[in-house]
């Protein structure tokens, strides 16, 4: 009999589902393995108001396969015109679980994001008062800053000043990619956590650039040097409650990835749990997989842990190398190593 591992059903604390045909194509892959997910609001146009989030939640629920057990946790896209009262109302009704900060121009569909951080101070004050977390895409957009340094510079120039000005604000540093970010999280005892993606535990920048350019490994923040990947592995597998899974599964069609100016994002929804079990087993930390995928996130978001479970079996998984969508094929993230665990 093969070895098995049973954990509380996981959640994904950072997910892109898109809309329309793409939503219908990718949602079943997440809903199969995850009970809940924090849904990113970077649609075109973005999900800015409580009314936008309610309508988007309805479209997600309508796209769910029959019998699926999945709850989308909605977010609002912070703009310089966001109304603090609308945010408070959307939170009070239970609809919205976080507000997302995109520095304008930092990533996919971030044009409506924030340029002047002073302008959003009233919203941040309100969020601190009501305990609503801020999720950050933590990269500066200053063209003079090297792209591999943009996360570390964001911490110094933007995040730390925001946290000093709003000490009660609860912040999730999304998809961290550096030892600097992991150390910043560890140096703070409260109101700060970070999500780590599946792919940043597996790839470093060589995967993207050595031996030919690999657009399917290009995402933002871009993968860094090996020493940073090691620091992320240490943070994720340590059991430290301040680190939890946010896959950042970000589907783009192959046609949009394989361009002279291709889109950023890795699509990891179909094989994330198999990859994570492999990673945690390699690091002798299978007993801490559950903390990373199923316990630490709910604790930070002040939500109950799921009462259902997931069983993984030590058996090679099968997943497609791409999925077909009405918009065209979407390549599934290739972990570039053999996998030995499948979701039962
Ligand atoms: N991570 C990515 O490379 N892309 C995300 C945006 C984001 O999370 O920054 C996307 O929406 O495609
Ligand atoms: Zn991002
Ligand atoms: Zn993302």
Cα–Cα distances in angstroms (integers) from residue 119 to residues 76, 87, 107, 116, 125, in the given order? 16, 15, 20, 6, 11
* CA–centroid distance, residue 313 to ligand 1 (Å): 31
Q: Which of 58, 146, 248, 254 is catalytic?
A: 248
Q: Detail the residues annotated as belonging to a binding site for Zn(2+).
A: 14, 16, 100, 137, 175, 248
**Is 18 close to ligand 1, i.e. is its CB under 6 Å away?**
no
pLDDT of amino acid 106: 86
- Is 126 a residue whose pLDDT tops 80? yes
- Is 304 a residue whose pLDDT tops 80? yes
Out of 16, 39, 261, give the residue to mutate to test ligand 1, the one with the largest number of ligand atoms within 8 Å of its CB. 16
Quote the mean pLDDT of the chain: 97
pLDDT of amino acid 107: 86
pLDDT band at residue 38 using 50, 70 and 90 as cut-offs: very high
**Is 297 close to ligand 1, i.e. is its CB under 6 Å away?**
no
pLDDT of amino acid 281: 98
- Is 50 a residue whose pLDDT tops 70? yes
pLDDT band at residue 189 using 50, 70 and 90 as cut-offs: confident
Percent of residues, the chain, with pLDDT higher than 70: 100
Instruction: Kindly report the backbone phi and psi dihedral angles of residue 313, in degrees, each rounded to the nearest multiple of 5, phi listed first.
Output: -115, 140
DSSP 1-12: ---EEEEEPP-E
State yes or no: is 116 an active-site residue.
no
Domains, in order of start, for the chain: 4-343 (3.20.20.140)
Mean pLDDT of 148-156: 98
Give the ligand whose atoms come closest to the C-alpha of residue 220.
1
Mean pLDDT of 81-94: 98
**What is the rounded CA–CA span in Å between residue 99 and residue 91?**
10
Residue whose structure tokens are 């609308």? 86
- Is 32 a residue whose pLDDT tops 80? yes
- Is 1 a residue whose pLDDT tops 90? no
**Is 150 close to ligand 1, i.e. is its CB under 6 Å away?**
no
Mean pLDDT of 171-179: 98
- Is 108 a residue whose pLDDT tops 90? no
Cβ partners under 8 Å of residue 146, min gap 6:
none
pTM, two decimals, is 0.98
Nearest CA, atom 6, ligand 1: 108
**ipTM associated with this complex:** 0.99
- Is 33 a residue whose pLDDT tops 70? yes
7-16 per-position pLDDT tens digit: 999 999 999 9
225-279 per-position pLDDT tens digit: 999 999 999 999 999 999 999 999 999 999 999 999 999 999 999 999 999 999 9
């Amino acid at each position: 009999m093969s070895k098995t591992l049973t954990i509380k059903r996981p959640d994904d604390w950072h997910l892109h589902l898109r809309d329309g045909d793409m939503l219908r194509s990718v949602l079943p892959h997440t809903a199969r393995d995850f009970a809940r997910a924090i849904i990113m609001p970077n649609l075109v146009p973005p999900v800015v108001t409580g009314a936008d989030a309610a309508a988007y939640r309805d479209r997600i629920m309508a796209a769910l396969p029959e019998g699926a057990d999945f709850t989308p946790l909605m977010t609002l896209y912070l703009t310089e015109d966001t109304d603090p009262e609308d945010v408070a109302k959307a939170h009070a009704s239970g609809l919205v679980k976080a507000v997302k900060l995109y520095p304008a121009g930092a990533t996919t569909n971030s044009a409506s994001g924030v340029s002047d951080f002073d302008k959003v101070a009233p919203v941040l004050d309100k969020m601190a008062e009501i305990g609503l977390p801020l999720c950050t895409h933590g990269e500066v957009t200053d063209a003079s800053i090297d792209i591999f340094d943009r996360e570390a510079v964001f911490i110094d120039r933007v995040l730390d000043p925001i946290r000093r000005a709003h000490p009660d604000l609860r912040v999730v540093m999304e998809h961290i990619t550096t030892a600097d970010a992991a150390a910043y999280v560890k140096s703070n005892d409260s109101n700060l956590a970070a999500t780590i993606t599946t792919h940043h535990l597996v790839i470093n920048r060589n995967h993207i650039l050595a031996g030919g350019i690999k657009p399917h490994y290009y995402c933002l923040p871009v993968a860094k040097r090996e020493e940073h990947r090691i620091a992320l592995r240490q943070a994720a597998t340590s059991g430290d409650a301040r680190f939890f899974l946010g896959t950042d599964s970000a589907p783009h069609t192959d046609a949009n990835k394989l361009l002279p100016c291709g889109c950023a994002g890795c699509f990891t929804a179909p094989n994330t749990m198999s990859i994570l079990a492999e990673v945690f087993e390699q690091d002798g930390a299978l007993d801490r997989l559950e903390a990373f995928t199923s316990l630490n996130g709910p604790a930070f978001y002040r939500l109950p842990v799921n009462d259902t479970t997931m069983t993984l079996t030590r058996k090679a998984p099968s997943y497609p190398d791409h999925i077909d969508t009405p918009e065209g094929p979407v390549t599934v993230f290739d972990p570039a190593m053999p996998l030995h665990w499948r979701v039962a």
